[in-house]
Chains A and B, each alone.
Chain A
Amino acid sequence: MVRWGMVIDLDKCSGCQACVVACKAENNVPFASPEEAQKGRVINWMEIIPIIEGEYPELKARLIPRPCMHCDHPPCTKVCPVYATFKNEEGLVAQVYKRCIGCRYCTTACPYTVKYFNWHKPAWPEEMRAFLNPDVSVRQKGVVEKCTFCHHRLQKAREKVQVEKRGLKEGDYVPACAQTCPTRAITFGDLDDPHSSVSKLKQSPRAFKLLEELGTEPKVIYLSEERFYRKVVV
C-alpha cells in the first residue's frame, strides 16, 4: 500500500515562503484582511513557524515550514462527530467540506493546530477570482479546512498514468509546495516504498518529527543538523 509522506530539509530551507504562496494559489485559500489577520484568522495550509532560542545577542532563530502532518494516528479524526475528517487508505488525512458541521473539535484536538476554520464566506479580491484553481473546490462559510497534500494532484496523476498505461512513479504526484521550493528542501513520495527518496531520507540521522513524543506518528519528517529544532516547545 502507498503511504504518502513528506521530508523537509531544514538545512536547505531559506525561509523564502515560496511554499506558502504556492500553496495558497494552488488550493484556493481565501484572503484575509489585515484586521482579520490581526485577530489570528489567516488561513495558511502551509505556515512558516519561527523557532527562537536564547536572547539577543546570543540568539538563534530558525524557520520551520509546517504543513498538515498527516499523522498515522491523527488526534483530529477521532474526535470528529460526523466522519468529516478521516484518514484514507493511503494515509492522507482528508477533510470533507460538505459534511463538516463546523463544531471545531478537530481544530482544538490537533496538537499542531494545522486546521483552519472559515470564519466568513471565503473572499478574494476581484482580480484574483479569475485565477482560482478549477481542480480545487472553494470552501463554504463555517467549515474546517487544512492541507490535503494537494490530493487533487494525485487524482490528476492517476488519470495521466492510466492514459499512458503505466504505473505511478516518483515525481508523478508532487504537492505545490514541494514543486515550488527553490532550494528543493521539500521531497515528497511513498514512505512504504523502500526505494523512494523519502524512504531513504527518513533514514538520515538528521531526521526527526515535530512533537514526536505525542505518538501521533506524523508523515512529515524534518531533517536538520541543529539539535534545538527538536525541542520545539513554546
Chain B
Amino acid sequence: MDRRIDMTDDEKLFEPILNFGIKFRITAMILGTVILWALFAWIYQLREGLGVTGLNRPVYWGFYITNFVFFIGISHAGTLISAILRLTNAEWRRSITRSAEVITVLVLFFGVGNILVDMGRMDRILNVFKHPQFQSPLLWDVTSISIYLTASSIYLYLPLIPDIAMIRDRTKKLRWFYSMLALGWRGTEQQRKWLEKAIAFMAILVIPIAVSVHTVVSWVFAMTIQPMWHSTIFGPYFVAGAIFSGIAALIIAMALIRKVYRLEGYLLPIQFNNLGILLLVMSLFWFYFTFAEFLTSFYGAEPTHMVVFWSKISGEYAPFFWTMFATCFVIPFVILCNKRTRTITGTVVASVSVTIGMWLERFTIVVPTLLNPRLPYERGLYSPTWVEWSITAGSFATFILLYMLFTKLFPIVSIWEMMEGRKHAVREVSERIKTYFSGDVKDE
C-alpha cells in the first residue's frame, strides 16, 4: 500500500529549503571573510613552517591539538544523543535528532582538519596509510574516527531519505540532486520497513563507535608516561566530557534554529528542559571525574605530577583552570538545578558557558603537562600567535557556514518523523505504557 504523506502539514519546515534570503547571504559573507583570512593564515604557515605558531620545545602541542580534542568532543552531540534517544523510544526526540546528527558529521571534519594543520609535513599524510604503525594511539584515532565518520554519515543520511523524497516531489530547483539522493524512495510499506530496520541497526552500531572514538582520543595522552596524562581515568573522563560539550553545542544550535526559522512550534521548551537536565547530569559527572582525577594526583603527591597539579591550581594556568571550573560546573549547575531558570534562555546561557569551559579543559590538559617536563632546562612559554587564533576562528566559521548551508538544503527538523509521531506515537506510547501495569488500565 502506498502511504504518501500529506504535504499540507509542516509547510514551515520546507520554507528555508533553497531559500537563500538576505540575512543568510550577509551572515555567509561575514563567515566567508573569516574563512578566507584563516586560509591565508594557513597558507602562510605552510610556507614558513610551524615556526609562525607560538609552539616551542617543550610545548610541542597547543591550540590545534586543543581544537582537535574539542571538536571531536562536540561531535558526540549528535549521533550518540540521537541514538540513545531513539533506542529508548523518547518521543520528544523527533524534532531534534536531525540537528544533532548534522553537528556530528560536520564537526568531525574540523577535528581532523586541526590535526592536519598541526602536522609539520601535511604533504606526507599518506604515510599513515602506506606505513601504518598500529602501536601508535594516533593510528587508533585514524581508524576509529574514519569508522565514526562513515557510520555517522550513514546514520544522518538514512532518516533524511523520506524528507529528500518529499522535497524532490515538490521542488523544481535542483531536482536532479534530490532525485539522486532520494534513491527512488516512494514510501511503500516495504521501503519503510527496511528504513526503520536500518535506522535501528545504525543507532545501536554508532554507540560503541562513538564511545571508542573519544576513548582513543584520550589515549593519545594517557598512553604516554607524562605527568597527569598517564591516567586510567582519561578514557571515561573524555567520553563524559565529550557528551557534556556535545549536549551544550546541540542546545545552542537548536536555539539558533528555533529563532532564525521561527520553529517555536517544533523546538519546544520541554526539549530544552529535558536536554537541560541531561546537561546538569553531565555537569555533575564532569565534577565527579575532575575531582577524582585531581584528588588522586594530590594524594599520591608524586613530585613530577605535583608540578603540573600546582601549575593548574595556583600557578600560571590557574586562571584557565578556575574559569573552566566555573564555566563547566558552577554556572551550569546553578542555572540548571533550578526549574525556574531551566528555560530556553537559561539552558542556552549554561550551554555557552559549558562550551567555553570544555575548550578550556582541553587546553589545560594539553599545555600545562607539556610545559613542565621532568628534566630542568630553559623552557619557552606558550602563547598562541595570530596564525593559531585565525585558523581556530576559521574552523568555527567554516563549521557554522556548513551547518547553515545544510539547513538550506535539507529540513533541519525530520519532517516524516514528526508526521509519524503525530499519527502513531500517541497510540503506541499509551499502549506500551498499558503493558507496564497488570490488570485493566481504563482510559479516563
Contact = CB atoms under 8 A, between A and B. Distances in A.
B365 interface: no
Contacts of A40: 56-59, 378-381
B374 A233 contact: yes
A36 interface: yes
Interface in B374-410: 374-381
Interface stretch (A2-10, A110-118, A191-199): A110-118
A226 to B, nearest CB: 16
Contacts of A66: 375
A117 B120 contact: yes
Given A78-B135, A105-B220, A141 B120 contact: yes
B2 to A, nearest CB: 52
A8 to B, nearest CB: 15
Nearest to A211: B374
B55 interface: yes
Given A111-B226, A120-B49, A39 B136 contact: no
Interface in B142-159: 142
A39 B380 contact: yes
Given A108-B224, A116-B57, A51 B376 contact: yes
A118 B375 contact: no
Given A100-B120, A109-B226, A234 B307 contact: yes
B375 A113 contact: yes
A51 B377 CA distance: 9
A104 B61 contact: yes
A109 B374 contact: no
B269 interface: no
Given A120-B51, A142-B50, A234-B304, A81 B133 contact: yes
A182 interface: no
B61 A108 contact: yes
Nearest to A75: B225
B372 interface: yes
Interface stretch (B89-97, B106-114, B123-131, B352-360): B123-131
Interface string B321-346: 00000000000000000000000000
A141 B374 CA distance: 27
Interface range on chain B (Cβ under 8 Å from partner): 35 or more
Contact of A79 (B137, B373, B380): B137
A232 interface: yes
Contact of A105 (B50, B136, B307, B379): B136
A142 B49 contact: yes
A159 B223 CA distance: 41
Contacts of B294: none
A112 B374 contact: yes
A178 to B, nearest CB: 21
A233 B303 contact: yes
Interface in B218-249: 220, 223-226
Contacts of A107: 57-58, 60
Contacts of A160: none
A99 B123 CA distance: 11
B128 A41 contact: no
Interface in B24-72: 48-51, 54-61
A80 interface: yes
Interface in A85-125: 99-105, 107-109, 111-113, 116-121
A103 B375 contact: no
B163 interface: no
A82 B133 contact: yes
Interface string A180-211: 00000000000000000000000000000011
B57 A103 contact: no
Interface in A118-156: 118-121, 140-144
A102 B125 CA distance: 10
A116 B128 CA distance: 21
A41 B58 CA distance: 9
A41 B57 contact: yes
A41 B51 contact: yes
A79 B224 contact: yes
Contacts of B56: 39-41, 119
A103 B379 CA distance: 20
B206 to A, nearest CB: 25
A52 B377 CA distance: 11
Nearest to A98: B124
Given A81-B138, A102-B119, A234-B376, A118 B49 contact: yes
Nearest to A47: B377
B65 to A, nearest CB: 9
B69 to A, nearest CB: 14
A101 B128 contact: yes
Given A101-B121, A119-B51, A111 B374 contact: yes
Contacts of A233: 303-304, 374
A50 interface: yes
A104 B121 CA distance: 11
The 8 closest A-B pairs by CB, nearest first: A102-B120, A40-B380, A142-B120, A119-B51, A40-B56, A81-B138, A81-B136, A120-B51
17 contacts: A79-B135, A79-B224, A82-B124, A82-B131, A84-B127, A99-B127, A101-B120, A101-B125, A102-B124, A108-B58, A108-B370, A111-B373, A119-B50, A120-B48, A143-B121, A211-B374, A233-B304
Given A49-B376, A101-B125, A143-B120, 11 more contacts: A39-B54, A49-B375, A84-B127, A101-B124, A103-B118, A104-B61, A112-B374, A117-B120, A142-B121, A232-B376, A234-B374
